Chain A
Amino acid sequence: MSAMTSPTTMSAPTPLAAFWSAFKENRGAVIGMCVVISIVLAGIFAPLLTSYDPLIQYRDVVKVPPIWAEGGSWAHPLGTDPLGRDMWARLVYGSRLSIFIGAAVMIVSTGVGIIVGLLAAYRGGWVDVLTLRVMDLIMAIPDILLSIMVIAVIGPNLTNTIIAIMVVYLPRYVRLMRNTALVELKKDYVTAAKVSGVLPMRLMLSTVLPNCLAPLIVQAALGLSDAILAAAALGFLGLGAQPPTPEWGSMLADAKDLIQSNPWVMAMPGLAILILVLAINLMGDGIRDALDPRLRRS
């Protein structure tokens, strides 16, 4: 390992700068981050990247293969689906959905996880027991089955996909928050703060929480990729975003019958999911190593 080239300034680096200098050491993580950023940008600037509307059906050019395969054409570089919609346009616009779902699940579950976890840790007693039991309950049901059941109750659409995945992944955030907060609460600085009369609310939010952030951020980064995968799996089972929305998982499911005759229509969306998830995981690894090397073993 090369020795850390730490800046030789007199003052200690800010946490952010320290994080960045550790993060950029990790080549894989940087590449992952670049890919994630490009996919996000591609989603935002989708109209600039393709002249096609993802919903318009060009009926005379259905199931065109991608450019490198025999019969491909530059008019549709990644080919078209059975309805003649441009694959590249659908993938690019579809990235908006995947990232939106992932981010929404991550933000909401982190938020709810922080509140519930802190509450359980601070109040202890029956609040804590109840929280833990409920989380045990959620974790006892295999996650895909639970999300299918939740969707069956509330109906399949985009918002409900987010809710269903959030319910399934909530226990991880809650338990993590609770456990780290419990450890922090035992530390001296908390006792000191308590003695000096800091209000509980303030104590938790401004003293305990910041010290628990590192593992939470790592969990959120890795949770992002899990949420995207779960959303795609639900889309694959026909329970996610509804047609004609270009969601990657449902695009894959719609092309399942073409596995023999036109395999690339099915292969493309899956590849897109894999690339995005892989990039996020690479980035997540980097964040974890940079924030807290002790968490390496997860």
Chain B
Amino acid sequence: MRSTLKYLTAALLATAWSASSLSAKTLVYCSEGSPENFTPAMNTTGTSLDAARPIYDKLVRFVPGTTQVEPSLSEKTDVSADGLTLTFHLRKGVKFHSGVNGFTPTRDMNADDVIWSFDRQANEKNPWHKVSGGSFDYYSDMSMPDLIDSITKTDDSTVVIKLKQPNAPILANLAMDFATIHSAEYADFLMKKGTPEQFDQIPVGTGPFSFVDYQKDAVIRFKANPNWFGGKPKVDDLVYAITPDASARYAKLKAGECQVMIAPNPADLAAMAKDDGVNLMQQAGLNIGYLALNAQKPPFDKPEVRKAIAQAIDRGAILKEVYQGAGQQAKNPIPPTMWSYDKDAADIPYDPAAAKAALDKAGVKDLQTDLWWMPVQRPYNPNAKRMAEMMQADLAKVGIQAKLVSYEWGEYRKRAQAGEHQMALLGWTGDNGDPDNFLAVLLGCGKDGKPNGQNIPKWCDAKFQEDVNKAVTLTDQAERSKLYVDAQKIVDAQVPWLNIAHSTVFEPISKKVSGYKVSPLGAHEFWNVDVAE
């Protein structure tokens, strides 16, 4: 009986879909994989976050294509002079999607929804905290438990967040996907129905598109939300065609089966640039790929040895053969599109002779070491294996024998964080566009003088730490910038890691598509996108 009903609804949906698609504009996005679920706060992968994004809004959002923050569900945000109190004035008359999973909202979005959305993540006693075995990774990654003192409502359209200490990046954090606003009413509705787990499978939000249907490993369908506060999106139907293989995605784009695709094969970029039907969009990615040199393992404890290794590796060749030109050689640990980037820093040139001389001088002979490469493709490193093979050959030229090592991805990172490696490839993609999200996270050390978990080079420097710690509490960007430039200079002199490259994010789209912006944060957004017939 239940299954018949399911098919009946599916059939109804299908007719609704095909009836509308006769005259409707459809945008198809070739995505990489199936989402884990549709609750952004429980996910960390770009694939899952992208899948949920069309459905929801946040209090504030990133301007498409940038890392600037603009108002969204919160029309106006006041920050108190001491930086400890944030007051959000909510937009009035915002409607949740109606008709998804049999749910019809009876009221507009209000302060209760905001509080509910954060309480589910923060409060272990919240009955919804455990639903779907939830772990709210980003909430703790962004140190929200340490930052937020309280979230309260003054009235239905005003929410006040009190902080424990001033924190410059907090608004940018709230523009991230984990800070999505859910419907508390939908939650109650499902709880009464006895199917709470559907909350994370059949999503209801206020966003530009509402959820229609999802078939694992095949497709996700959305339709435009005519009541969206920003006006109805320009396309009527939005489809994510799940296509794990990059070559297959390109073939579909060429055949007109999708109009936007993620993550092209670097080797195919040249062909795409020449393709008449394809507009190859690009944007400097907010990322860094690096080779960490474990400062706690001799001889890498000596800055001159680390510098010699940096000189020995031909990054020009790596950029050409691994990134296929889709990246720029890095000289600082933060990407050049980020404010406070140290433009005047001098890069370390490729100079094997100097490297060899420096190694001799430091008394390093017949060095046998390991070189770790991660087993997966990452935005900042399209092919770690190929890169490692090239580095191995370069190091051999200066008399260093590097053994290539790899582990399963989770295991790899765990061991690297534990500092088991001597040299390890890794990288980082920024979350919120703030330099703190790179410098403090990736090279920071705790109060005890021990490196943080994410500090893969296991390198600590007192002056660097002082700069970074101070900068995060200030609100004036110019002042912060000065401190971060200073911190970068320390890193450049000490070479805890070899800056390899900032990859460029390429996104081929059909020439028929207009209004699409490549996000430096790796997000894919479609509310302002149009397709020509």
Interface check A215, CB cutoff 8 A: no
| Residue A258 is within 8 A (CB to CB) of chain B in the complex | yes
In angstroms, Cα B337 to Cα A280, docked, is 58
Whether the pair A59, B268 counts as a contact (CB closer than 8 A) is no
Interface residues of B, dominant DSSP? helix
Find out whether the CB atom of B271 lies under 8 angstroms from the CB atom of A254: no
B250 touches A260 (CB 8 A): yes
Tell me if A257 is interfacial: C-beta within 8 Å of chain B.
yes
Given A257-B383, A261-B271; A83-B389 close (CB under 8 Å): yes
B191 in the interface (beta carbon within 8 A): no
Q: Which residues of A contact B406 (CB under 8 A)?
A: 242
Question: Which residue of chain B is the closest to A155 with respect to CB atoms?
Answer: B407
Pairwise interchain contact B393-A56, C-beta atoms closer than 8 A: yes
CA separation between A294 and B387, bound complex, in Å?
Answer: 54
A199-221 interface code vs B (CB 8 A; 1 in, 0 out): 00000000000000000000000
Which residues does chain B contribute within 8 Å of A242, judged by CB atoms?
A: 404, 406
| A275 on the B face (CB < 8 A) | no
Q: Is B141 interfacial (CB-CB < 8 Å)?
A: no
Contact in complex: B267, A262 (CB < 8 Å): yes
Collect the chain A residues with CB atoms within 8 Å of residue B375's CB. 238
Contacts known (A55-B393, A152-B408); A261 close to B385, Cβ less than 8 A: no
Query: Are B404 and A260 touching (Cβ within 8 A)?
Result: no
**Contact in complex: B385, A59 (CB < 8 Å):** no
Given contacts A82-B321, A259-B247, contact A243 B389 (CB under 8 A): yes
Residues from chain B with Cβ under 8 Å of A243 in the complex: 373, 385, 388-389, 404
CB distance from B190 to the nearest CB of A (A): 37
Q: Does B317 contact A (CB under 8 A)?
A: yes
CA distance A61 to B268 in the complex (A): 19
Bound-state CA distance A261–B375 (Å) is 23
Nearest Cβ on chain A to B158's Cβ, whole angstroms? 52
Asked if A257 and B390 make an inter-chain contact with CB atoms under 8 angstroms apart, the answer reads no
A260–B314 touching, CB < 8 Å:
no
Instruction: Contact check, B268 vs A57: say whether CB atoms are below 8 A apart.
Output: no
| Cβ contacts under 8 Å, B390 to chain A | 57, 83
Taken residue by residue from 22 to 44, chain B's Cβ proximity to chain A (1 for < 8 Å, 0 otherwise) reads as 00000000000000000000000
Closest CB of chain B to A180's CB: distance in Å?
Answer: 41
**Which of A55, A238, A260 is in CB contact (< 8 Å) with B267?**
A260
B353 at the interface (CB under 8 A from A): no
Task: Provide the bound-state CA to CA distance between A172 and B271, in Å.
Answer: 48
Q: Which residue of B lies closest to A259 (CB)?
A: B247
Given contacts A57-B390, A254-B385, A259-B247, contact A244 B404 (CB under 8 A): yes
Given contacts A56-B393, A57-B393, contact A257 B321 (CB under 8 A): no
Interface check B494, CB cutoff 8 A: no
Decide: B265 and A244 in contact? CB cutoff 8 A.
no
In the assembled complex, B266 has its CB within 8 A of some CB on chain A = yes
**With contact pairs A243-B388, A254-B385, A260-B247 given, residues A83 and B321 touching in the complex (Cβ less than 8 Å):** yes
Q: CA separation between A262 and B390, bound complex, in Å? A: 19
- How many pairs of residues, A versus B, come closer than 8 Å at their CB atoms? 49
Q: Say yes or no for B392: interface residue by CB 8 A criterion.
A: yes
Interface check B270, CB cutoff 8 A:
yes
Alpha-carbon gap, A61 to B380, bound state (A) = 25
Indicate whether B386 reaches chain A with its CB closer than 8 angstroms. yes
B246 at the interface (CB under 8 A from A): yes
The closest CB in chain A to the CB of B322 belongs to A82
Q: Which residue of B lies closest to A60 (CB)?
A: B317
Report how far A244 CA is from B404 CA in the complex, Å: 8
Contacts known (A62-B321, A242-B404, A243-B404); A261 close to B270, Cβ less than 8 A:
yes
B247-266 vs A, Cβ < 8 Å mask (1 yes, 0 no): 10010000000000000011
The digit string for A258-270, where 1 denotes a CB below 8 A from any CB of B, is 1111100000000
CB B406 to nearest CB in A, in angstroms, measures 7
CB contacts (< 8 Å) of B383 on chain A: these are 257
Contact A82 B386 (CB under 8 A): yes
Number of contacting residues on A, CB 8 A? 19
B268 — nearest CB in chain A belongs to which residue?
A: A260
B-side interface residues, number (CB < 8 Å): 25
- Please name the residue on chain A nearest to B396 by beta carbon: A55
A82 and B389 CA atoms in complex are apart in Å by 11
In the complex the two chains form, is B385's CB within 8 Å of A260's CB?
no
CB B377 to nearest CB in A, in angstroms, measures 9
With A62-B321, A238-B375, A259-B247 in contact, is A244–B267 under 8 Å at CB? no
Asked whether B268 lies within 8 Å of A83 as measured between CB atoms, the reply is: no
A179 → chain B closest CB, angstroms:
39
Query: Taking A59-B317, A243-B404 as contacts, is the C-beta distance between A260 and B265 under 8 angstroms?
Result: yes
**Contact, CB under 8 Å: A257 / B404:** no
CB distance from A64 to the nearest CB of B (A): 13
What residue of chain B has the Cβ atom nearest to residue A250's Cβ? B385
Over the window 40-64 of chain A, the binary record of Cβ atoms lying under 8 Å from chain B Cβ atoms (1 yes, 0 no) is: 0000000000000001110100100
Q: Given known contacts A56-B393, A59-B314, A243-B385, is B404 in contact with A258 (CB within 8 Å)?
A: no
A residues less than 8 Å from B271 (CB atoms): 260-261
Chain B residues with Cβ below 8 Å from A261 are 267-268, 270-271
List A contacts of B250 (CB < 8 A).
Answer: 260
The answer for the CA separation of A97 and B247 in the assembled complex, in Å, is 30
Query: Quick one: CB contact mask for A229-250 with B, threshold 8 Å, 1 for yes?
Result: 0000000001000111000000
Distance of A26 from chain B, by nearest CB (Å) = 42
Q: Which residues on B sit within 8 Å (CB–CB) of A82?
A: 321, 386
Closest to B404 in A: A243
By a CB distance below 8 angstroms, the chain A residues around B317 are 59
Most buried by B among A59, A238, A258: A59
Chain A residues within 8 Å of B314, by CB: 59
Give B305-326 interface residues, CB cut-off 8 Å to A.
314, 317, 321
Which B residues are in CB contact (< 8 Å) with A258?
267
The answer for the CA separation of A238 and B268 in the assembled complex, in Å, is: 22
Q: Which chain A residue has the least Cβ–Cβ distance from B314?
A: A59
Bound together, the chains give a CA A258 to CA B321 distance in angstroms of 12
Over the window 386-421 of chain B, the binary record of Cβ atoms lying under 8 Å from chain A Cβ atoms (1 yes, 0 no) is 101110110000000000101010000000000000
Shortest Cβ gap from B339 to chain A (Å):
34
Q: Are B389 and A257 in contact (CB under 8 A)?
A: no
Subset of 18 A-B contacts with CB under 8 Å: A56-B393, A59-B314, A62-B321, A82-B321, A82-B386, A238-B375, A242-B406, A243-B389, A244-B389, A244-B392, A257-B246, A257-B265, A257-B266, A259-B247, A260-B267, A261-B267, A261-B271, A262-B267
- What 9 A-B pairs are tightest by C-beta distance, nearest first? A261-B267, A57-B393, A244-B389, A257-B265, A258-B267, A257-B267, A59-B317, A260-B268, A243-B389
